[in-house]
Amino acid sequence: MEELIRIKIEESIFFLKKGAPLSEVLTGLPISESPILFRSDHLLLDLSYPADKERELSLVFAGDPEALETLRHSASHLLAQAVTELFPGVQVGIGPAIENGFYYDFLRDNPFTPEDLIAIEKRMREIAEQDIPIQRLVLSKEEAIRIFKERGQELKVELIQEKGGSEVTCYQQGDFIDFCLGPHLPSTGYLKFFKLLSVSGAYWKGDEKGPQLQRIYGTAFFTEKELEDYLNFLEEAKKRDHRRLGQELDLYTTSDDLGGGLVIWNPKGAIIRHLIENFWKEEHLKDGYDFIYSPHIAKLDLWKRSGHTEFYDAMFPPLEFEGFKYQLKPMNCPFHIIAYKSRQRSYRELPLRWAELGTVYRYERSGVLHGLLRVRGFTQDDAHIFCRGEQLEDEIKGVIQLATRLLKAFGFEKYQVYLATRPDKYVGKLEDWDKAEKALEEALKSSGLTYQIDEGEGVFYGPKIDIKIKDAIGRLWQCTTIQLDFNLPERFDLTYVSQDGTFERPFMIHRALLGSMERFFGVLIEHYKGNFPLWLAPVQIAILPIAERHEAYARELQSRFRAEALRVSLDDSREKINKKIREAEMQKVPLIAIVGDKEMSNQSLSLRIHGQGDQGQVEIESFISKIKKLIEDKSLETKF
């Protein structure tokens, strides 16, 4: 007698023959819309998934947010099928769904051209229109290896040998077959709204010594409007790209001569950094922080004791001289610990809040370097707090308040907040973890921030709070991180003398609020599209004399404004005034002061505001007064 499997969907009960496709239950359901997936025990399953055990199912329809990843994964297989049909002999790597889209890696001698992408996308549409069923296959490992060897797909053979069990899952659509866990859509006909975006290089398995592959990126959605909206978003993001704007506005420099991931701040970028750092320091002093400066290298033994050589793989190779090995610092924390241990501490001293704008160095692979957002040398807005257990909640609350105050000044008031809890592998006592997680959660509640629990995503040495800011076009950027650490105080045997004379272990809080100067600057450029608010603009006023006879008056104004600590430029070229205005607008100078005969006579200026146009004549003293007020208030809008 054949074994029957009990399947429940909502209030309906079905019995399927073991191994029968789960889709057989759909014939008995009164539904008007066809589902594309099943959900079972928080997993998504294909409609063709076999009845293998008693299950409770729910239906997933097109447009369900959970189904989008499956749509994009199926789109990556569609891409691979089109490429293998158009370019015989190409080897396929991996093709996952990713945030906002998908990609597939290919091994091919000749690079894909823009014309190739057009042809590939056209072929993808032809395959989609054929509405080819996507079939799930379960094969023996030996059979799967044989199939892919016959097809010349050596990369797939390698993956099956490494990752496959005695049986492996493959998916087939037409003549194309792929080694894959799934799930997938029922057929290629569900793939209607997609777009190929770009090609880049990628190493096989991320190994720089491995074969160089070509990665084709694309995106896919369930509706045409979602696709159009996303493509419009990409166009806007392209206009905001900090790498392009950084060059056009002369903000920073990177160079092969300098080395990948290393940045020079040009004068205009450097003045913005100076303003950010000054504001950062002022706000930290208000909150009772002291500052520390630490060296850029330390003996390798320090990093062994801290655990970085064991747990952290993004360090540069050590330097050696005078018989000792030294390490470029990837983090600032061991230095602050050394300072803490410079003498015995008392409970009366705690909390100690020590902040540092410390430059660190991390070896990032060349393939992931990206402008200011992913670099090898950067300055963290770092701080460490050493406190007693009963001070923990208040200290965390203070960090959150300082973080949101800083971010608000730069125009970021929308966040997504996460509380990352104890992972499977952790150090420290369970009761300390419970106390720390409770303190973090209570601080978040007190601060009024809506947050999500990120279960098991804390670091091995303690739980953490992550704050991701939302920029002008809705993108999320990781900035603030607040981490509790049970590891380093233990490794370095940190103590303080308690009120009863015993030695106690302090709690240690790591925190970075802006993240790093480089990355935060890149985010600022893109958030403002290079149109920095007046208090941050590298040049606040551009003075444009209409003719040569107006230059002396323009220089008087320049001196007057500089005396008020305003940042001002003077365009004394012999170009026509319209060209001067156009150049100042292209450089996104917030205020443009035009001076001619009338302005000289009235001791005034004609004002233009970037993006707003002509504001008429303005008296000099009231102009200065208004500017200084806007700067003092750190106003994000320039209005006269």
Q: Is the pLDDT of residue 70 over 60?
A: yes
Structure tokens given for 579: 């060209």
In sign, the C-alpha dihedral spanning 390, 427, 334, 518 is: negative
From start to end of 90-207, where are the E strands? 91-92, 97-98, 101-107, 135-140, 167-173, 176-179, 193-203
Active-site amino acid positions: 333, 362, 380, 382, 384, 464, 510
Reading the block at residue 134, the tokens are: 């996507």
Closest CA to 171 of 203, 137, 199, 209: 137
Q: Please write the tens of the pLDDT for every residue from 295-324.
A: 999 999 999 998 888 877 888 999 998 889
Q: Which residues lie closer than 8 Å to 514 by C-beta, 6 or more apart?
A: 276, 280, 381, 406, 407, 479, 480, 520
Q: Could you give the percent of the chain with pLDDT greater than 70?
A: 99
Which pLDDT band, with edges at 50, 70 and 90, does 435 fall under? confident
Question: What is the spatial distance between Cα 346 and Cα 354, in angstroms, rounded to a whole number?
Answer: 16
Q: How far apart are CA 164 and CA 511, in angstroms?
A: 42
Query: Dihedral of CA 402/405/408/410: which sign?
Result: negative
Q: Which of 37-51, 344-358, 540-554 has the lowest mean pLDDT?
A: 37-51
| Three-class HEC string of 188-202 | HHHCCEEEEEEEEEE
Integer CA distances (angstroms), 223 to 32, 124, 129, 190, in order: 19, 17, 16, 11
Instruction: Round to whole Å and give the CA distance between 63 and 618.
Output: 56
Higher-confidence residue: 293 or 484?
A: 293
User: pLDDT tens digit string along 248-262?
Assistant: 999 999 999 999 999
- Token digits of residue 591: 């205020």
pLDDT more than 90, % of the chain:
75
**Tell me: the pLDDT tens digits for 367-423?**
788 999 999 999 999 999 999 989 998 999 999 999 999 999 999 999 899 999 988
* pLDDT computed for residue 136 by the predictor: 93
Q: What secondary structure letter does DSSP report for 312? A: -
Residues 320, 293 contacting (CB under 8 angstroms): no
Amino acid type, 85: E
Residue 607, pLDDT score: 96
Check if 67-234 and 541-632 are the same fold.
no
Strand 503-504's sheet: what is its strand order? 345-346, 496-497, 503-504
Distance CA 437, CA 431 (A): 10
Q: Where are the domains of the chain?
A: 4-60, 67-234, 283-524, 541-632
d(CA 20, CA 30): 20
Instruction: Inform me whether the pLDDT recorded for 75 exceeds 80.
Output: yes
* Per-residue pLDDT, 272: 97
If 0-12 CB within 10 Å is exposed, 13-18 middle and 19+ buried, where does residue 401 land? middle
Give me the mean pLDDT over the 127-132 stretch. Answer: 96
**CATH no., domain 67-234:** 3.30.980.10
> What is the DSSP-derived secondary structure letter of residue 133?
B
* DSSP collapsed to 3 states, 422-467: CCCCCCCCHHHHHHHHHHHHHHHHHHCCCEEEECCCCECCECEEEE
Domain 4-60 matching CATH 3.10.20.30: the answer reads: yes
Q: Which residues contact 600 (CB under 8 A, 6 or more apart)?
A: 550, 553
- Give the CATH superfamily of 283-524: Bira Bifunctional Protein; Domain 2 (3.30.930.10)
What gap in Å lies between CA 215 and CA 201, rounded to an integer?
6
Q: Tell me what pLDDT residue 31 has.
A: 67
Instruction: Give the phi and the psi of residue 449 in degrees, each rounded to 5.
Output: -90, 135
The neighbour count for residue 348, using CB atoms within 10 Å, is: 8
Instruction: Please tell me the predicted confidence (pLDDT) of residue 1.
Output: 56
Minimal CA–CA distance to 75: which of 175, 216, 200, 284? 216
What are the pLDDT digits (tens) for 539-566? 999 999 999 999 999 999 999 999 999 9
Tokens encoding 53 = 């055990």
Q: What is the C-alpha separation between 628 and 565, in angstroms, rounded?
A: 9
Is 3.40.50.800 the CATH number for 541-632?
Answer: yes
**Strands (DSSP E) found in 176-323:** 176-179, 193-203, 212-221, 252-253, 264-265, 290-291, 297-299, 319-321
pLDDT score for 287: 96
pLDDT for 466-484, tens place per residue? 999 999 999 999 999 999 8
pLDDT-based confidence at residue 627 (cuts at 50, 70, 90): very high
**pLDDT score of 325 more than 90:** yes
User: What would the two tokens of residue 229 be?
Assistant: 């909206």
Residue in 518, 477, 470 with CA at minimum distance from that of residue 276: 518
CA-based nearest residue to 10, from 67, 47, 65, 57: 57
* Cα three-residue angle 60-61-66, rounded to 5 degrees: 60
pTM attached to this predicted model: 0.87
The pLDDT confidence band at residue 12, using thresholds 50, 70 and 90, is confident
Summarize pLDDT for 558-599 with one digit per residue, the tens: 999 999 999 999 999 989 999 999 999 999 999 999 999 999
Alpha-carbon distance of 628 to 535, in angstroms, equals: 9
Q: How far apart are CA 137 and CA 242, in angstroms?
A: 46
Beta-bridge partners for 320: 325
Q: H or E segment at 334?
A: helix 333-340
What is the β-pairing status of strands 345-346 and 496-497? parallel
Work out the pLDDT band at 32, boundaries 50, 70, 90: low
